[in-house]
Amino acid sequence: MDDMHQHGFRGWLAAPVPASAAQARAQQIWLGCKRFAANRSALAGLVFLLLLVIVAWLAPLIAPYNPFQQSLSARLTPPSAAHWFGTDELGRDILSRIIYGTRITLYIAVLTAGIVAPVGLIVGTIAGYFGGWIDLVLMRIVDVFLAFPSLILALAFVTALGPGIENAVIALSLAAWPPIARLARAETLTIRKSDYVAAMRMQGASHLRIIWSDVIPMCLPSVVVRVTLNMAIVILTAAGLGFLGLGAQPPSPEWGAMLSTGREFMMNAWWVAAMPGIAILLTSLAVNLAGDGLRDVLDPRHD
């Protein structure tokens, strides 16, 4: 416990009694980071995700081949020094395709999270905060969406909307927001009754202001954790859509779609189906690991 007596910035962060709200917040963040970093598997997940972002960003520089370049003479060559992950039925380099596929996967996951989190948060906090009829109506809508397994719902929407990445994102978002709304509502219900919200009310703060400045910040940690963990499911579902031919369309190097075409050839060329699957597995594993670590830090009440 020597750091209790340290000076400077570290000492400021470790001071047993914070002197200001800003210091308290900085200490919270610092402690959270320390706890997250202490969780080695969570850190590994985060590092892997960062790596994916870099790979997606620098895909043209990293990929050894053009992902669309066909080479009929090099069809279905097994993994070798020239093609680390082998080539597919049209002689395209699988590694390069997986590298470009990272872009699609991250695009879908991030866009879906960006739609689902605010929608779920707004619907949930409004329902929880106002209660009564508003709550009843909104929650019945949530119930209706929750009555379907998310894959089935996404499938139905994507059939109606037509295949394609953007439609897949819409379908995935439509299927993924209700659990977030329900979570935000549950959190709001406990906050709504707290004394500090009552105090804000008595000082004349408007409902909107209370929701914005008190309720939403309190819901945010658990919502962020849940959205992160849900991204793993979104990645799997998106791959499933691609696999069924309802997501990204060939020749797009989306991992699920690659699996689906690789399927026909896998009995003779295992790498065609194995490699994209491993990419999906590792990505969703990394999301799960990072999400679990995030939960331990942000949402300690859980478990």
Partner 1 sequence: MRVAAQGGYLTPRRRRRLRETLVAIASIGVTLLGLVALTFFIGRMLPLDPVIKIVGENAPQAAYDRVYRELGLDQPLIVQFLGYLKSAVTLDLGNSLTSGRPVLEDIGRVFPATIELATVAMVIGTGLGVPLGVLSAMYANSWIDHVVRTVCLIGYSAPNFWLGLMGLMIFYAGLGWVSGPGRIDFVYEYGFEQRTGLLLIDTIMAGNWDAFRNAVSHIVLPAAILAFSAMTYISRMTRSFMAAQLTQEYIITARVKGLSWRRTVWRHAFRNIAVQVLTVIALSYAFLLEGAVLTETVFAWPGFGRYLTSALLAGDMNAVVGCTLIIGIIFVTINLICDVLYRVLDPRTR
Provide the binding-site residues for partner 1, judged by CB under 8 A. Answer: 140-141, 143-145, 147-153, 155-157, 159-162, 232, 236, 239-240, 243-246, 256, 259, 263, 266-267, 270, 273-274, 277, 280-281, 284-285, 287-289, 303
* Rounded least distance, CB 209 to partner 1, Å: 32
Instruction: Report the residue number, 5 or 140, with the smaller CB distance to partner 1.
Output: 140
Q: What kind and span of H or E run contains 57?
A: helix 40-57
Minimum Å gap between C-beta 235 and partner 1 is 9
Q: Which is nearer to partner 1, 17 or 147 (CB)?
A: 147
**Type of residue numbered 216:** I
Distance from CA of residue 126 to its chain's centroid?
24
Please give the Cα distance from 270 to 25 (Å, whole number).
Answer: 52
Quick check: 83 and 99 in contact, CB under 8 A?
Answer: no
Residue 19 or 147 with smaller CB distance to partner 1: 147
Write the CB contacts of 4 (distance below 8 Å, at least 6 apart in sequence).
14, 16
- Specify the residue, 67 or 276, whose C-beta has the smaller distance to partner 1: 276
Residue with Cβ nearer partner 1 (99 or 280): 280
Distance linking the first and last C-alpha atoms of the chain: 28
Distance of CA 24 to the CA centre of its chain: 29
Q: What's the one-letter identity of residue 198?
A: A
Nearer to partner 1 among residue 96 and residue 288 (C-beta): 288
> Is 252 in a helix, a strand, or coil?
coil
Q: Cβ 258 to partner 1, closest distance in Å?
A: 11
Of the candidates 91, 83, 115, 85, the one whose C-alpha atom is nearest the C-alpha of residue 278 is 85
Q: How far apart are CA 88 and CA 70, in angstroms?
A: 9
* Residue 113 C-beta: closest distance to partner 1, Å: 17
Which DSSP helix (H) or strand (E) runs through 225?
A: helix 216-244
Minimum CB separation from partner 1 for residue 178, in Å?
A: 11
Residue with tokens 């002197």: 19
Residue found by looking up tokens 């080479």 in the block? 71
Contact between residue 108 and residue 165 where contact means Cβ atoms under 8 Å apart: yes
Residue type, 33: C
Provide the 3-class DSSP secondary structure of residue 93: strand
Nearer to partner 1, 65 or 157 (CB): 157
Which residue type, as a one-letter code, is found at position 87? T
Choose between 197 and 279: whose C-beta lies nearer to partner 1. Answer: 279
- Please state the closest distance from residue 146 (CB atom) to partner 1, in A: 8
Residue 263: CB minimum distance to partner 1, A: 6
